[in-house]
Amino acid sequence: MNRFRYLSVLAALGLTLLSGCSSPPGQPRKGSETLAPNEVLEFGTLFGQNCAGCHGAEGRGGAAIALADPVYLGIADDAAIRKVIANGVHGTSMPAFAQSAGGMLTDKQIEVITSQIRSRWSRPGILNGANPPSYAAKSTGDNQRGEVAYKTYCASCHGTTGQGGPKGSAITNDSFLALISDQELRTVVITGRPELGAPDWRGNVPGKPMSDQEITDVVAWLASHRVQDPGQPYSASNPQHQDSAENSSSGQLREGHDLGRAANR
Ligand code: HEC
Ligand code: HEC
């Protein structure tokens, strides 16, 4: 190879290298930077990191309901879903994600999650002709009618009083009720938990879908089992509890104990 050709090849190579490099040496190449958490707009990452722990991988359900449920998405609109994601549900484990509510996600990220839950997991038209109940209750429910509805539609699986049965867990249990909102009870009665074998509002009694009013009433009946101090192993009428309450109010043991705790603080 003669000297001239050698140089021109080098020059061509140099040009190619230069034109291929858009950023100066030492700087990361385009696309190789790690995004700051509030810049992530990829649905899979956002859902995986923030939601899947409770709502399941791919939204298929976990401790909390499946969001990849076309029946749920046929009933809940974007406004309802967005509101829950942004503000959470007070008194339950559903956290608030909007920065305005103390969360970590931007409005843009919440919009990506809300819109893609629908675009990926809904099946438009799935409830055509099904006359679906409304997402939110339209009236206050009636306990007594709710009990009748419970016996008709639910007792076969959840037991005669909601204490749990062969096919469904305890749903009048005070600890369970303390951690779930009335809306969520309604949602679950409407959509069921398909991933766990719980029927939707049409399937409890084959051929006899629940009416909107029956759903409202059964939720009122369930909610009537809420108690002031959920999760207490004893009640005031329990003699053992009364004994210990008397002992501690008259005895010095309690005072000493409290003092000890105060000193430890
Ligand atoms: C720590 C657990 C947890 C995490 C994390 C979580 N959720 Fe929830 N979510 C819940 C629970 C529990 C409920 C039911 C709350 C209630 O009782 O109303 C719920 C309810 C909801 C609802 C309303 C369901 C209805 O009845 O309409 C939506 C929508 C929702 N979550 C979306 C999300 C999304 C999206 C994320 C991630 C950005 C997320 N959740 C993260 C636990 C969680
Ligand atoms: C064919 C049996 C069956 C019928 C009928 C049925 N359920 Fe269920 N239900 C289930 C199963 C299975 C689950 C999911 C596993 C569990 O929690 O027991 C469930 C879950 C639930 C949950 C959620 C529990 C949780 O852990 O999140 C509620 C609330 C509930 N059912 C209420 C009702 C009500 C109210 C009715 C009547 C309107 C009803 N169910 C009718 C089988 C049934």
Residue with tokens 């749903």: 171
Which whole-number Å values give the CA distances from 143 to 100, 208, 212, 213, 214, in the listed order?
A: 37, 21, 15, 12, 10
Give pLDDT tens digits for 97-118.
999 999 999 999 999 999 999 9
pLDDT score, position 77: 98
- What is the rounded CA–CA span in Å between residue 197 and residue 168? 9
Ligand nearest to the CA of residue 181, numbered in listed order: 1
**What confidence tier does 67 reach under pLDDT thresholds 50, 70, 90?**
very high
Domain boundaries, the chain: 40-121, 143-223
How many angstroms separate the alpha carbon of residue 198 from the centre of ligand 2? 5
Neighbours of 101 (CB within 10 A): 13
Question: Which pLDDT score is estimated for 151?
Answer: 98
What's the gap in Å between 200 CA and the centre of ligand 2? 9
Mutate-to-test residue for ligand 1 from 55, 67, 111, highest number of ligand atoms within 8 A of CB: 55
Q: Which of 173, 152, 174, 195 is CA-nearest to residue 63?
A: 195
Residue whose CA is closest, atom 26 of ligand 2? 169
Provide the H-helix boundaries in the chain: 3-20, 43-50, 52-55, 70-75, 78-87, 107-121, 143-153, 155-158, 174-178, 182-191, 212-223, 239-250, 252-264
Report the pocket of ligand 2 as residue ranges, CB < 6 Å: 153-154, 156-158, 167-169, 171, 185, 188-189, 193, 196-199, 204, 218
Q: Do domains 40-121 and 143-223 have the same CATH topology?
A: yes
pTM of the model: 0.83
For ligand 1, the distance from its centroid to the CA atom of residue 61, given in whole angstroms, is: 10
What class has domain 143-223? mainly alpha
**Residue 124 backbone dihedrals phi, psi, to 5 degrees:** -55, 135
For the structural domain made of 40-121, what CATH number should be given? 1.10.760.10
The rounded mean pLDDT for the chain is 86
Residue 7: per-residue pLDDT = 55
Phi, psi of 97 (to 5 degrees): -105, -20
